[in-house]
Structure 1
Amino acid sequence: MYHQAPALRHKEILAAMGRGVRVIGAASIGALRAAELREFGMHGVGSIYAGYVRGEIDGDDEVAVGQAPDGDFGALTWPVVNLRHVLTLGVLAGVLDGARAAALLEELRAVFYPQRTMAAVRAVCRRQGETEFARWLAEHRSRDSHFGDLKRADALAAVRTALNGAGPSLGDTLPSPSAWETTNFYRWSNAFVRGCVDGLDLFTEDRLVYQQVFDPAYSERWTAYLEHRSLNPADGPGRPLEVRLAEATGRLLPAHRVFHPLVDLRDEASVSLLLAGESKQDRQAVARYADALTRAHHTAAGFSVAAVSDDLTRRLLLRVWRCAEQDLDVEASARGLVCGARAVEAAKRLVPGFLEEMAERTEVAGHGC
C-alpha cells in the first residue's frame, strides 16, 4: 500500500533477519528489496526478482499499482512488469512484432501508474493503432482473469517456497549485525521501541527525550551511561571511563564532549540507566505531550514535527535549562544530546505539549487572581 503509506524499508527487513527470521521477497516491492538485500540473506523468488537482479528492470515504478484506500488489496491498475509480459506473449503469438511492442510499452508506461487501468490500456492501444492486440488481450482476459499477471504468479511461487521451506539458511548468509547496524538503523529502531508502564503505552524515545530536557540532574544520568558503555563495550575489553578519557584528551575535556556512543533503546540495561530518574509523574507528562502532538497533527493543516520552529524550540530549551545562548551546546552535550542543534531537533516533539501546559498554567493563574 505504498501510495498511501511509506514503502517497506530495508531496515525493517534487516531487523527481522537479525532476529533469525527467514525473509522471502517476490512479485512487487518484495522482489526489489530481495534483489537489494540478497547479500544480507534475503531470499528472492520469481522472474520479477530475477529481472531486478540482472538489472533488466529497476525502481519501484515497475511494480507499482493503484489500490483502493478502503482495505481492498486488489490491484486496480496494470503494473509495467505485467504489461511487458503480455506484450512479450503478444509477440510470441504473432499479434505484434518486437518494435511495435517496444513502442506500445513506452506509451503505456508513460501513463501515471494509478491511472493505468484496463480502459487506459485500451485507449493507448487505439491511439497507437494496435486494436488487434487490444482485442487479443481482452479475449484472453475474458477466459482467464489472471492472464498475464506475472506478479500473481511470482507471489504464489513465493508462498510455495515458504511452505516448502526452500531457500538458503540464514546462518550461512547473514553477516554480523555490526555490518548493517548503522547509525541510521539505531535511529530507526529506537523510534519504534515502546512499552506499557503504569498502564500507559509509551514510546521509549519520547520518555528519554523528556528526561533529557526536563530532568535537572540528567547530566549525572548521562555520565553514568557513558561509564556503563566504557565498561561494557560492544567489542573489545571494558575499561574505566577515566582511563579512556585520559588517553583521548589528557582529561582536558569532560567525557560528554568526547564520547557520543549510539544509544540502543532495545537494550534494557541502557534504558534502565538512561531513565533512572524518571517518576510516575514524568511518564504521565510524556503521555500528555504525546496526546498534544497527536492533536496538533489532526488540527493544524500541514503540521509536522520537523516544521516546528527552531527558534521557538531553542527558546524553550534555554528557558528550561536556565542557560545563556552561548552555553546551549555545552548543556545539550552534558545531557547526551551532542550539541544545541541536535537538542533542538529532538525537543521539537515536546513543543505542542509544553505550549499547552503553559497555557493551562496561565489560565489557572488568571482564575486565581
Structure 2
Amino acid sequence: MKLLFAGPTLPKAQVHDANITVRGPAGQGDIFRAVEGGATVIGIVDGAFEYTAPVWHKEILYALSAGATVLGAASMGALRAAECHSFGMIGVGRIFKDYLEGIRVDDSDVAQIHGPAELGWLPLSEPLVNVTATLDLLLEGQLLSSAEAIQLQATAEAIFFKARTWRSILKRTPNIRADRSTSISIALQTCRVNQKRADAMELVAIMSRLDAQRSATKPDWEFQRTTLWNDMLKHHLMAKDPGHLS
C-alpha cells in the first residue's frame, strides 16, 4: 500500500494516482500506525505542528527498519528527510536539498497557516521557501533589481510566518516606491512560484514509479526499542484495545 500524508501543500484532488492513498498532515504516531496497517511506501509532505505533536523521527526509523520506503519533500517531509537521510529516508526536491546542505536551517521557512480539511486545507499565508523561489524567478526575468530582491527577502524573513503574505511583504518593505510595488504585484500574478507544491508533485511522481513491496534488505543499523518507544507502543495498544494491557 502506498500512503501519502499531505494537506495545504498538495490537496488530495491534485494527486492523480489511484494507487496512492492520501491522508491529512502527519502527526506523531501516524507513521507507526501506517506501518502497522500495511503501508509499504510512505510519502510525507505536510505534518502537524504547533498544537499537535509532530512526526517523530523514531517512527520513521521504525518504518525503515520494517522495510518500508519512506520519502519526504516540500514541508515537514523535507525537514524529516534531511534529518533522517543518513538512515535511508529519501528526500525529494529543492527544499529538501537546501535543508540537507545547510542552506536552510529554520523549520519556520516551510511553515504556513491554513484552513481545515473541510475547506481543502486552504493556505492562508506564504511560506518563506515560496517567497525565495519567486524572488529568484523575478530577478532572473529582470522584473526586480538585485536591491529590491534583497529588501523583499529581508522583509519576508522578518515577518512571523502566520502574518507573511505578499501583501504584507510589499507593504512593509522600505524604499519600494508605490509604482514599483504595483508593478511587482502585477508580476506576481503570473510569476509566483509554489516551490512546495512543485516538490510535492515530484515526490508523487516518484511514489507512482515505486514498487509497492517492502524491502527484504535490512538496514546497516539496528532499531533500538527505547523506553520512550515502548511507552508509545503501550499507549497505541491501549487505544486499540483498552483492556489489552490491563
Question: SS at 1:194's partner residue?
Answer: helix
Partner of 1:202: 242
Distance 1:34 1:134, change over 3 A: farther
Unaligned runs of 5+ in 1: 208-369
User: TM-score of the superposition, structure 2-length normalised?
Assistant: 0.68
The C-alpha deviation readout for 1:54-88, integer Å capped at 9, x for no partner, is 10001311100011246431221111111111111
Q: 1:203, CA displacement in angstroms?
A: 7.1
Structure 2 counterpart of 1:202, which letter?
Answer: P
Q: 1:112, CA displacement in angstroms?
A: 1.1
Partner of 1:118: 166
Question: SS at 1:44's partner residue?
Answer: strand
Question: SS at 1:87's partner residue?
Answer: helix
Q: 1:204, CA displacement in angstroms?
A: 4.9
Distance across 2 between alignment mates of 1:61 and 1:85: 16
Distance 1:9 1:123, change over 3 A: same
Unaligned runs of 5+ in 2: 1-47
User: TM-score of the superposition, structure 1-length normalised?
Assistant: 0.47
Structure 2 counterpart of 1:193, which letter?
Answer: L
Partner of 1:296: none
Q: 1:46, CA displacement in angstroms?
A: 0.3
Q: Which has the larger radius of gyration?
A: 1
Distance 1:120 1:171, change over 3 A: farther
Distance across 1 between alignment mates of 2:218 and 2:95: 22
* Structure 2 residue 232 is the aligned partner of structure 1 residue 185: no
Partner of 2:122: 74
Q: Residue 27 of structure 1 is aligned with which of 74, 81, 86?
A: 74
* Structure 2 residue 203 is the aligned partner of structure 1 residue 158: yes
Distance 1:16 1:106, change over 3 A: same
Distance across 2 between alignment mates of 1:9 and 1:122: 37
Question: SS at 1:23's partner residue?
Answer: strand
Distance 1:36 1:28, change over 3 A: same
Contact 1:107 1:124 in 2 (8 A): yes
The C-alpha deviation readout for 1:225-246, integer Å capped at 9, x for no partner, is xxxxxxxxxxxxxxxxxxxxxx
Q: Aligned runs of 1:1-369 on 2, under 5 Å?
A: 1-69=48-116, 71-72=118-119, 73-125=121-173, 127-129=174-176, 131=178, 134-143=181-190, 147-165=192-210, 174-178=219-223, 180-194=224-238, 201-202=241-242, 204=244, 207=246
The C-alpha deviation readout for 1:163-197, integer Å capped at 9, x for no partner, is 0118xx9556734434x43333333333322366x
Structure 2 counterpart of 1:165, which letter?
Answer: L
Q: 1:99, CA displacement in angstroms?
A: 4.3
Partner of 2:43: none
Partner of 2:22: none
Question: SS at 2:72's partner residue?
Answer: strand
Contact 2:148 2:176 in 1 (8 A): no
Distance 1:203 1:133, change over 3 A: farther
Structure with more contact order per residue of length (Cα contacts < 8 Å, sep ≥ 6): 2
The C-alpha deviation readout for 1:214-273, integer Å capped at 9, x for no partner, is xxxxxxxxxxxxxxxxxxxxxxxxxxxxxxxxxxxxxxxxxxxxxxxxxxxxxxxxxxxx
The Cα RMSD (Å) is 2.8
Contact 1:194 1:202 in 2 (8 A): yes
Distance across 2 between alignment mates of 1:20 and 1:203: 30
Distance 1:195 1:187, change over 3 A: closer
Distance 1:137 1:161, change over 3 A: farther
Contact 1:66 1:76 in 2 (8 A): yes
Contact 1:191 1:203 in 2 (8 A): no
Distance 1:55 1:203, change over 3 A: farther
Distance 1:159 1:175, change over 3 A: same
Q: How many residues align?
A: 196
Distance across 2 between alignment mates of 1:157 and 1:82: 16
Question: SS at 2:80's partner residue?
Answer: helix
Question: SS at 1:37's partner residue?
Answer: helix
The C-alpha deviation readout for 1:325-366, integer Å capped at 9, x for no partner, is xxxxxxxxxxxxxxxxxxxxxxxxxxxxxxxxxxxxxxxxxx
Structure 1 counterpart of 2:56, which letter?
Answer: R
Question: SS at 2:91's partner residue?
Answer: strand
